[in-house]
Structure formats: structure tokens, C-alpha cells
Structure 1
Amino acid sequence: MELLNSVFLPMLTGHLVADFWLQPGSWVHHKRENGWKSAKLVLHSGIASLLPVLFTFQLGLWWFFPVIFVLHFFTDFFKSKLPDTILAFLVDQLLHIGVLLVLAVFATSAEISEGLTGFWIYAVGFVLVTSPLGIFTGMFLNVVIPDKSKAFKLDVSAWIGILERVLILVFITSDQVAALGFLIAAKSIFRFNDTREDGNKKAEFFLLGTLLSFTLAIVVGLVINWLSS
């Protein structure tokens, strides 16, 4: 595929790393409180512009940096004025990724080595199943959980979810699908007493979150296998 040979995948990896791994929650709050005056907004926009360009390993694409910076800055600024909803989250990411797609496919003919295509496919997948899908799952659960005092937070449970999705991705991409049964059984055993003590409702939300998290990771794994075939 022409898209896979373009610089889009390394740029997408850089974006995901910058937007999720290298953006602490305190920066997000600072942007909401200070708007366009936020130093964290400027710093984050700089990182989110630099990494996609660096990951291409092509100095000739230096001019991508100011373009991405300006568009990322204003996209995040306007997002900071909106309620923290799934829709705002998805639109924000689609806009960021759309900019990278346009630059990679239509603004340059630069390509990556065919030998590196597989690496970048896996890189995008593994970054995606960590914080990005974890945040999406948490936001979805916050919508369906009526008791907001139990709203999702990035705590130990969130890190467990990240490790689960990474393991699922490893199992799927290495054709060890049978190992998924072991993972599901292990989680069910360890969380049984916890959900039993808090009643059926918590058990239902636990099951919903687990199924959503597992499904998203499995889909990412299957897409990786399809693109790599």
C-alpha cells in the first residue's frame, strides 16, 4: 500500500508518543486553566510537532514542524474549551492524525524503507494499546457508570489494563491465541472477590470494561496481522 510506504506511520507513532506518553495530566489541566497563555500548551505543541518529524529520519521534512505546531496548538486550544467527552477526544485525535496524513501523503513524496514498514506498523499498534485505548476505555466507562464517585482514574487498575492489552497484542501477533484464555481466566480469578463484595453492578461494569479493553486490543492485533501479511 502506498500509505504504508509513506512517512505517515512513523509520524503517527511520534504523535501518539507525544500526545499520550509525554503529556502528563497536569499539562492537560494547565491548558484548560490558562488557555492560549499556557506554557504547557506551547511546550506540548512543540514536542508533538518535533517527534513526528524526527521519527521520519528525513531532514528535508523540517518544514513539517511549523505546520504541525500551529495546527496542533490551535486544535488543543479549542479542545481545552470543550467538555472532556469522548466526542471531543475523538475529534481532537482525528484532526491531529488528519494533518499528519495530508502532510505525509499529499505534501511530500518521501517514503520509508520497505524493510521498516513492518516495524512502524507494530510500533503504532503497541503505542495505541497502551494509554490511548486506556483513556478511551476509561472515558466510555465514565459515561455508563451512574456513580461518578467511581469514575475511571489512571491508577493501578489502568496500568493493569495497559499490560493486559499489550499481552493480548503479543499473543495475537505471535499467533498464540490460546493464551488469551489463560489471561481472561487469571483476571477473572483475581477480581472475583472484589466484584462480589461490591455487588452485581460493579461486576457488570468490570465485565464491560474488560470486554471493551480486550476487544479493542484484539482488533488492533488483527489489523496489524492484516497489514503485515
Structure 2
Amino acid sequence: MESFIILIKLLCAHLCSDFILQTNEINNGKRKSGSKGLLFQFIHSITHAGIAYLFVADWCCWLIPSVIFISHFIIDVIKCKCYKDSLSTFLADQFLHIAIIAILWFSLYGDEIKLSYFESFCSVKVWLTIMAYLLMLRPSSIFLNLFLNKWTPTSPNTQSLPNAGQWIGYIERILILTFVLVNSFEGVGFLLAAKSVFRFGELSKAKEIRTTEYVLIGTFASFTIAILTGIAITRLF
């Protein structure tokens, strides 16, 4: 079980580095041509390596930060140079990074897996919960943006606050995940009802039904991600 904690720590490090610590400046800078783009790629990859090394805390094992740095640098360079932003590119990119993390973990710690479940029960649960909350932030937001891209209205509402929708999504998914983890599904229903009340005035004035449908799809997709993640975490224990 101790080795399983290391895998969860590596995944948490990936989520922190790829979605929390990667600012818009770094994300846009990686796509620049020449040495500037490579510099941003280097900064981003070295951040991944450093956070993984810090989270795992196996100070004598330099193979972990080395492999993560090299693999992340190569994958991101290829992605930024050869592919455009899309849902398939995003999923393929994340799959490759996570696959390399899993292979690296198994090659180093796979033979140390222990059968004792209760030794590290609390620690594993804590790290899985942290990973679930991290998923509710930018990973889910990016996935939803790509998923809803083909339905996005051509004339956005200029009266809305900057990034307000993104932060509303963050907060609602965190609340839903919390409700599910504490087995309080009535809270999910209350949140959905409250959001419907606040949205009613806006949707009733919509000139086209597509606006209402777009909001409903985004809301239900966001709720589904949070609920399924919460159920998955609770079922593991």
C-alpha cells in the first residue's frame, strides 16, 4: 500500500503542475516559436520534475524527476508544434503523461506492493481525495470547454464578469464533490435548485432556445463529472 501512495502522489504532482501552477502566460508561451517557446517548455517541465520529486520525497531517487522532465518536455513540444487544441489532443496528451507516470512507478515500486490494507488506509484516502478536488478545477474546466465548444453561442454575453463562469464551475463542482463524499446527496439537489432559480430570469429572456439548451448541457455535464468522481472515491473505501 505504501507504493500505491507514491503513485497517487505522482498523479497529484502532475495535476498541480499541469493545471494549477501552469499559468496562462506559460501555456501561451509554450506555443511560441524558437528559443522563447523552448524556454517556457523547459520551465513547465522542470516544474513537473520538481513537484514530483518534492511530493514523493525519495531524495535518493533522481530517476523520477529525470524521466518526468524528459518525457514531459518531449510530449509537450510535439503537442504544441504539431497539433491544435482539441478534446482529442487534450485527452491524448494527458493519457501519455499518466501512462509514463504509471510505468515509472511500477518499474520502481511495483515489487514493493504490500497486502496489508490498514497500514496506509488514511493516507491513501487523503491523497485520493486531494486528487479528486484537483480534478474539479482546471482539468474539468478544460474538458467542459472542449466538450461544449461546438455548442458555444457565436455572440457571447459581453455583460458577464470576466472568468465568472469558470469560477462558478469550480465552486459548484467542489461543493458537489463534498456533498457526495459526506453522503449528503440532498445538498446536490439544493445546489441544483438554487442554480436554477438564479438562472431562471436569464433563461426566460433568452431569444433562442439554444441558449437555454447550452446552459443545461453545461450544468448537467459539470454536475455529472463531480458526482461520478465522488461516487468513485467513496466506492474505493
Q: Structure 1-normalised TM-score?
A: 0.90
Q: CA RMSD in A?
A: 2.3
Q: CA deviation at 1:143?
A: 2.4
- 2:146 corresponds to: 139
Q: CA deviation at 1:189?
A: 0.9
- 1:33 corresponds to: 32
Which moved further from structure 2: 16-25 or 107-116?
107-116
Q: CA deviation at 1:107?
A: 2.7
Instruction: Determine helix, strand or coil for the equivalent of 2:22.
Output: coil
Instruction: Determine helix, strand or coil for the equivalent of 2:56.
Output: coil
Distance 2:55 2:154 in 1: 40
Q: What residue identity is the alignment partner of 1:51?
A: I
Distance 1:84 1:91 in 2: 11
Q: What residue identity is the alignment partner of 1:70?
A: I
Q: How many residues align?
A: 225
Say whether residues 1:104 and 2:113 are aligned partners: no
Distance 1:218 1:56 in 2: 29
Structure 2 residue runs without a partner (length 5+): none
Instruction: Determine helix, strand or coil for the equivalent of 1:178.
Output: helix
Q: CA deviation at 1:192?
A: 1.5
Aligned-residue identity in percent: 32
Q: What residue identity is the alignment partner of 2:51?
A: L
Which moved further from structure 2: 186-195 or 14-23?
186-195
What are the equivalent positions in structure 2 for 1:116-195 lying under 5 Å apart? 116-145=123-152, 147-150=153-156, 155-195=163-203
Residue by residue, what CA displacement relative to the aligned partner does 1:156-197 show, whole Å, maximum 9, x if unpaired?
A: 111000000000000000001111111001111111222222
Answer yes or no: is the 8 Å Cα contact 1:130–1:162 preserved in 2: yes
Say whether residues 1:207 and 2:208 are aligned partners: no
Answer yes or no: is the 8 Å Cα contact 2:136–2:174 preserved in 1: yes
Answer yes or no: is the 8 Å Cα contact 1:9–1:121 preserved in 2: yes
Residue by residue, what CA displacement relative to the aligned partner does 1:70-120 show, whole Å, maximum 9, x if unpaired?
A: 110011111112110000000000111111111112233567971411111
- 1:9 corresponds to: 8
Distance 2:89 2:62 in 1: 30
Distance 1:126 1:221 in 2: 9
Q: What residue identity is the alignment partner of 2:32?
A: E
Distance 1:223 1:174 in 2: 13
Instruction: Determine helix, strand or coil for the equivalent of 2:165.
Output: helix
Say which of 216, 229, 234 aligns to 1:225: 234
Residue by residue, what CA displacement relative to the aligned partner does 1:4-55 show, whole Å, maximum 9, x if unpaired?
A: 7251101100100110011112211111122664221110111112112211
Answer yes or no: is the 8 Å Cα contact 1:11–1:56 preserved in 2: yes
Distance 1:188 1:211 in 2: 11
Structure 1 residue runs without a partner (length 5+): none
Answer yes or no: is the 8 Å Cα contact 1:165–1:214 preserved in 2: yes
Q: What residue identity is the alignment partner of 1:33?
A: K
Q: CA deviation at 1:154?
A: 7.6
- 1:66 corresponds to: 66
Q: What residue identity is the alignment partner of 2:172?
A: E
Q: Structure 2-normalised TM-score?
A: 0.88
Which moved further from structure 2: 102-111 or 176-185?
102-111
Which moved further from structure 2: 24-33 or 110-119?
110-119
Q: CA deviation at 1:135?
A: 1.0
Instruction: Determine helix, strand or coil for the equivalent of 2:109.
Output: coil
- 1:19 corresponds to: 18
